[in-house]
Structure 1
């Protein structure tokens, strides 16, 4: 998110693109054949790109992850994204440039979200600095960044009904919350406070607090001090099953601004959604690397 709070960007790299209808229709048996670098920009002139590509487009090394025309690479201190994508309708245009995420420290936290370990959350660097240099007017900025990963061996909708996640920087570091409702009805919740040095500790979470539903009426809730009500600051991604936004809340007496996500996997499981998603997530199976 930009320092001024008016712009944001998210970049998600997939092997086995979990939100791709093409991957779902394939039976999810060949994740390498459904890879993607999803780039979305939020704010004036925002764009959304999520092209499902085949195995021919995938190249990986110890320090690089490349899908067709875009790549991410680790130089030992920074995660650098070289982006060259086409946004989906209705605003079709090229999204090109470079984004750099510099962790202030890297944590050693790894948490299972499912009881049998089929889904794992790995918050690598909850406190990072970000620099954005895109080839678009006004899209050169710096601000607060975040870097994590999720790993799984089953489809999300097989194991979960709903979850919310949020990470909120504050004067002592940042605190992240995961609140999960599994398919069997059991609940999982965690609150972790991260220090600037990469230290992490489980802390007691303030009450889970509802706030205004998204435009698609996805239920939203996050943690807040008693008597405080979270509020959306910046709408990011608003889909029938998913909401991402910048949210203001109050934690331990401090007003904080962070990124929040709510995911309704019962809605996502509906077969009616897949054709809708195909409009936003085109499939490009073939790829030829330059000689």
Structure 2
């Protein structure tokens, strides 16, 4: 998110693109054949790219992930993201440039989201600085960000009905909340305070507080001090099953604006949703690297 709060960017690298209808229709048998670097920019001239590519477009090493013409690479100090994608409707254009995410420190935290460890959240760097240089006027800025990952061996909708996640900057680092309702009715409720040096500790959980539903009427809630009403200050991504937004809440008496996500897996499970997603997620199975 930019320092003035007017612009934001999200980049997700997928091997086994969990939100791709093409991956679902394939039976999820070959994750490497459904890979993607999803780029979304929020603010004036915001664009969205999510191209499902085949295994010929995938290259990876211990420090680099390449998917088609875009890549993520760790240079020893920062995550460097080189982007060369084409955005989908309503603004169809080429999205090119570079993003650098520089952590204040790398954490050692891994949080299993299910008791058997089939889903794991790995917050590599919840407190980071970000530098954005994209090929569009106004898309050269600096701000604060984070770098994390999720790993799983089953489809999300096979284990969860709903979850929310939030990452909020604090004076000493960042606080993250992960709340989920599993398909069997059990719940996950986690709150972790990350200091700038990478140290982490669980914290007593403030109460869940409901927020206004998204434009697609996705239910939303986050954690806040008792009596405080969190609110959306910037809409980012709004889908029938998913909401991403900048949210203001209050923690330990201090207001903070962070990124919040809500995911309704009951809706995502509907087969009627997949053709809608195919419009936003084109399939390009035969992309190949130049010799």
Q: Give me the TM-score of the superposition, normalised by structure 1.
A: 0.99
Query: Which residue number corresponds to residue 256 of structure 2?
Result: 256
1:58 Cα offset (Å): 0.1
C-alpha separation in 2, matches of 1:162 and 1:17: 19
C-alpha separation in 1, matches of 2:193 and 2:63: 28
C-alpha separation in 1, matches of 2:64 and 2:178: 29
Query: Which residue number corresponds to residue 172 of structure 2?
Result: 172
Q: Point out 4+ residue stretches in structure 1 off by more than 4 angstroms.
A: none
Aligned residues: 291
Query: Which residue number corresponds to residue 224 of structure 2?
Result: 224
1:142 Cα offset (Å): 0.3
1:289 Cα offset (Å): 1.5
1:121 counterpart = 2:88: no
1:288 Cα offset (Å): 2.2
1:271 Cα offset (Å): 0.2
C-alpha separation in 2, matches of 1:83 and 1:288: 16
C-alpha separation in 1, matches of 2:276 and 2:68: 24
Alignment map for 1:53-92 (pairs within 5 Å): 53-92=53-92
Query: Which residue number corresponds to residue 213 of structure 1?
Result: 213
Gaps of 5+ in 2: none
Query: Helix, strand or coil: the match of 1:276?
Result: helix
1:101 counterpart = 2:101: yes
C-alpha separation in 1, matches of 2:107 and 2:288: 37
C-alpha separation in 1, matches of 2:236 and 2:49: 13
C-alpha separation in 1, matches of 2:68 and 2:4: 33
C-alpha separation in 2, matches of 1:278 and 1:89: 12
C-alpha separation in 2, matches of 1:221 and 1:256: 16
C-alpha distance after superposition, 1:179-202 (max 9, x if no partner):
000000001100000001000000
Query: Helix, strand or coil: the match of 1:157?
Result: helix
Alignment map for 1:1-291 (pairs within 5 Å): 1-291=1-291
Once superposed, what is the RMSD of the aligned Cα atoms? 0.5
1:112 Cα offset (Å): 0.4
Query: Helix, strand or coil: the match of 1:138?
Result: coil
C-alpha distance after superposition, 1:113-160 (max 9, x if no partner):
011110000000000000000010000000001000000000000000
C-alpha separation in 1, matches of 2:54 and 2:278: 15
C-alpha separation in 1, matches of 2:33 and 2:266: 25
